[in-house]
Amino acid sequence: MQSPVVREHAGIADDQVIMKAVALGWPDENFPANAVVSERKSVEEAATFLGFDD
């Protein structure tokens, strides 16, 4: 979603694929990626859990 920003700040080459990213710490309100708001499906819409019956 914000690959160019992540690549620049993390020094990741264009020929490498970013699979996952995990943010740690406190947000920098001035960092461009922190302004991104993503719309996601609910867990019920996106996942099916098997073997966890009550």
pLDDT for the residue numbered 27? 81
pLDDT band, residue 30 (cuts 50/70/90): very high
Q: What is the pLDDT of residues 6-28, one digit of tens each?
A: 788 888 888 888 777 677 788 88
DSSP 53: -
pTM of the model: 0.35
What Å distances lie between residue 39 and 2, 36, 42, 52, CA to CA? 14, 10, 9, 27
Q: How far is CA 13 from the centre of its chain?
A: 18
The one-letter amino acid at 44:
E
Residue bearing the bigger pLDDT, 4 or 1: 4
- 50 pLDDT more than 80: no
The one-letter amino acid at 40:
R
Enter the tokens of residue 53. Answer: 């019956």
